[in-house]
Amino acid sequence: MLRPIRGFVGARIILILIQCVFVLSAVEVAATVHHFTWEVGYMFWAPNCIENPVMAINGRFPGPTIRAKAGDIIHFDLTNKLSTEGVVIHWHGIRQIGTPWADGTASISQCAISPGETFPYRFVVDRPGTYFYHGHFGMQRSAGLYGSLIIDVADGLKEPFHYNGELNLLLSDWWHLSVHKQELGLSATPMRWINEPNSLLINGQGKSNCSIAAATCNFTELQQCAPEVLRVKPKQTYRLRIASTTALASLSVAVANHKLVVVEADGNYVEPFEVDDLYIHSGENYSVLIKTDQDPTKNYWISAGVVGRKNKTSQALTILNYESVHAGKLPDSRPPDTPLWNDTIRMRSFVEQLRGLNNSPLPPPAGAHRHIVLLNTQNLYRGQTKWALNNVSLSLPATPYLGSIRYSLIDAFDANVPLESFPNDYDIMAPAANPNCTVSSGVYWLQINSTVDVILQNANTMSANTSEIHPWHLHGHDFWVLGYGDGKFVDGVGDKNFNLKDPPLRNTAVTFPYGWTALRFVADNPGVWAFHCHIKPHLHMGMGVVFALGVERVQGIPGQALACGLTAKLFMNTKF
């Protein structure tokens, strides 16, 4: 049995949302404050019809969909109901301007919340867009700790495109192997890879050993995995909000017989362009418009399939249900094919179509104050497999950087500053002659308000003829994507083709195999910010860097964010 969703504005009704509207006493401010009381715990659940422990918020998987308006204030009181694990939640795409301590990154912005304790996340959602939230401690995102976060335009304002209704697709991948075993295997010597996901999920629902398309799935026993049918009226325009919180998979999303018009990427408007299918990598968010202009007596498949890795996981499927048709009626056409997994040219041509909408902010024309090249390599460290940047693999410290830097606790992390480039003679097309890297918790110190260019330089892994996709995500800022190139970036050549006219602003961008990606951002948000590959096992194996800027200006860090490690020692007036 397929399960239709009710209502027009898409997504599930948020039962637990307690929304209070009040006017702050300050004369000049009138903001809506949303209060959420959340509890994080494990529960048994069958996202792909097979039961396993999943991380849930208030007993729901995925977590509740949050909806607010630009300018609203969000108060999340997050209580850890896990038994022995700490927890944090990162609000992916929210820049946390002025509230870097609310970014929800363990070891970076705060101490993990201990079992039984509550942390007060307080921040402004300053900008409309399609976002999501997720765990950012260990592999907890892979355990299912995520949900959608949708910000509408402020009252009285309009989106720069028209639509009649919304549909929400939160995409993820799912393993039967517990995250604890995944994590242990990734750290083992030799490393044990997690392999390809057992299932792909759309809004937390998938399948593992049956085919919806062939109608061999029986959902009556386990409604938890029954696809969430998306109901539409004919002859309307719908906004599909699509976010990918996959641990590993890059995906291609298509709606059979319907074109997709891309209008938003990571909370920024883009010049609309039409595609048959959307490439989306882990950490990315898009809005696409579809017209329900097809035969209204039929239903249509919506598919998401793996690209970029040799595909061993079945497509996730759900149904676009024209309202006059029974939701359980299967489409009479096949689900859309997933494009060839290794067609990098097609994949890259998709992101190269992304252009900032007219009047979008442009990068500072004077160029960058700082030029950081990050060579992406797979390495070994004492027999463990690592990912490294300029031969340095990130190891997070016990005391979160935001507190240790704010209070000058220089013993809290490595004083050595990581490198800003790699040797000229490094051959990115072959495995490194010496695969060994170093491990460090060192920080890149950025000048406040400086313009920073980052070149992400991809390379061969430790296996010959292999280079992987890495979607890089920046916290606290958006960046302009200035361009992509094949092979090694050459200074004075690669930058000649930078798009300074209408580059898209984003928080996540991909490096393609053996290629480079050029980003620019203005480091104007005081705090300590992760910049990392959004593939969970890659981050676990050290694929990230840390940017610190203007930390001396940061105010209002709540005590809970500092109640661990050396900051606890500093602030607790008792014997350590």
> Interface residues with a copy of itself (CB under 8 A)?
42-44, 53, 83-87, 107, 111-112, 114-117, 137-140, 178, 180-181, 183-185, 188, 396-398, 556-560, 562-565, 568-569, 571-576
Minimum distance, C-beta of residue 63 to a copy of itself, in the bound complex (Å): 18
CA distances in angstroms from 528 to 378, 394, 441, 456, 520, listed in the order given: 25, 15, 13, 20, 18
- Burial pattern 208-223, b for ≥16 Cβ within 10 A else e, equals bebebbeeebebeebe
Closest approach, Cβ 527 to a copy of itself, in A, equals 17
Nearer to a copy of itself, 109 or 168 (CB): 109
CB 390 within 8 Å of CB 359: no
Closer Cβ to a copy of itself, 128 or 565, answer by number: 565
Q: What are phi and psi of 430, to 5 degrees?
A: -140, 160
For residue 466, which phi and psi values (nearest 5 degrees)?
Answer: -135, 130
Residue nearer to a copy of itself on the CB measure, 406 or 488: 406
Q: Distance of CA 492 to CAs 489, 495, 496, 511, 528, Å?
A: 9, 6, 6, 20, 31
Rg (alpha carbons) of the chain, rounded to whole number: 23
Least Å from the CB of residue 436 to a copy of itself = 21
DSSP class per residue in 103-132: S--BTTTBPPBPTT-EEEEEEEE-S-EEEE
Compare residues 40 and 437 and give the one whose CB is closer to a copy of itself: 40
By C-beta, is 326 or 569 nearer to a copy of itself? 569
Q: Measured from the CB atom, is 398 or 417 closer to a copy of itself?
A: 398
DSSP 4-23: EPPSSS-S---TT-EEE---
We find the least distance from the C-beta atom of residue 60 to a copy of itself, in angstroms, to be 16
Q: How far is the CB of 140 from a copy of itself (least distance, A)?
A: 7
Q: Nearest approach, Cβ of 534 to a copy of itself (angstroms)?
A: 18
- Dihedral class, residue 226 (left if φ above 0, else alpha if ψ from -120 to 50, else beta): beta
Q: Which of 71, 90, 173 is nearest to 129 (CA)?
A: 71
**How far, in Å, CA of 404 to CA of 546, rounded?**
13
Measured from the CB atom, is 445 or 571 closer to a copy of itself? 571
- The pair phi, psi for residue 156, each rounded to 5°, is 90, -10
DSSP assigned state of 310: -
Min CB(111)–a copy of itself separation in Å: 7
Pairing of strands 228-232, 3-4: parallel
Nearest approach, Cβ of 567 to a copy of itself (angstroms)?
9
**Sheet hosting strand 129-135, strand order edge to edge:** 66-69, 146-152, 129-135, 89-92
Q: How far is the CB of 441 from a copy of itself (least distance, A)?
A: 10
- 47 or 515: CB nearest a copy of itself: 47
CB closer to a copy of itself, 7 vs 120: 120
Under 8 Å between Cβ of 326 and 301? no
Q: Which residue has the tokens 């108060």?
A: 75
Instruction: Give just the sign of the alpha carbon dihedral 306, 311, 312, 317.
Output: positive
- Least Å distance, CB 182 to a copy of itself, is 10
Would you say 111 or 405 has its CB closer to a copy of itself?
111
Nearer to a copy of itself, 153 or 177 (CB): 177
3-state secondary structure of 307: strand
Strands 72-80 and 515-523: unpaired
Q: Which two tokens stand for residue 152?
A: 């509408």
- What are the backbone dihedrals phi and psi of residue 384, each rounded to the nearest 5 degrees, phi first? -85, 145
Give me the least distance between CB of 557 and a copy of itself, in Å please: 8
402: three-class secondary structure by DSSP: helix
Kindly tell me which of 9 and 184 has the beta carbon lying closer to a copy of itself: 184
CB of 225 to a copy of itself, least distance (A): 19
Distance of CA 524 to the CA centre of its chain: 21
